[in-house]
Amino acid sequence: MLYSAVNRMTEFGHDIAASAASWRESCHSRRRQKFPSLNVEQVCEGIAQQGGVSFRDPNIAVEKKNCLDSEHAIRDELAKQWSSFSATDKTACTNEATMGGDSSYTELLTCLEMARDVRALHNEIAKASTKACGCAGCGSTRAARARAAKALIAQCPDRGLQ
């Protein structure tokens, strides 16, 4: 009987935690769903000047234009994919991409893709640990997940996870 009461309380606690996480995610998404407008002039100017022989090098203007064209193309591609990224990642990556003054859509897109891919890898490892154990709860401890991740990596050397 005590075991049953503890289970119900644990489930209730999980329900509260899930609700809180969902609420927090929706608050973040309402606050930061707007697509960022970045000023890429500064970063492209710096990139162009690094490649020039002198500040009067005529190639600097060409390099800057190439950089701006590339950034605008990446901005357009990112705008199409924007809704597919999580609100948390959008907030973190936008903050990172704008930190320090120079902004870049290339950096923003790279950050978002890496965050998404790392999350997918963690999900794959969690699924593999549960499957390897043959039970739903065996992957619930950090040590169990770490052991399962190591086993998965050892089984899949062709995936580049080592």
Q: Is residue 144 part of a domain?
A: yes
Q: Is residue 52 part of a domain?
A: yes
Range of the domain at 81: 27-159
Q: Is residue 130 part of a domain?
A: yes
- The tokens describing 46, both together, are 């710096």
When computed from its CA atoms, the radius of gyration of the chain, rounded to whole angstroms, is 23
Q: SS3 for 1?
A: coil
Q: Is residue 42 part of a domain?
A: yes
Q: Is residue 127 part of a domain?
A: yes
Long-range contacts of 71-74 (CB under 8 A, 24+ apart): 71/40, 71/43, 71/44, 71/104, 71/105, 71/106, 72/40, 74/105, 74/106, 74/109
- pLDDT, tens digit, for every residue of 64-120? 999 999 999 999 999 999 999 999 999 999 999 988 878 999 999 999 999 999 989
Number of domains making up the chain: 1
Res 25: pLDDT: 54
Q: Is residue 5 part of a domain?
A: no
Q: Is residue 3 part of a domain?
A: no
Q: Is residue 9 part of a domain?
A: no
**Residue appearing with tokens 């960022």:** 36
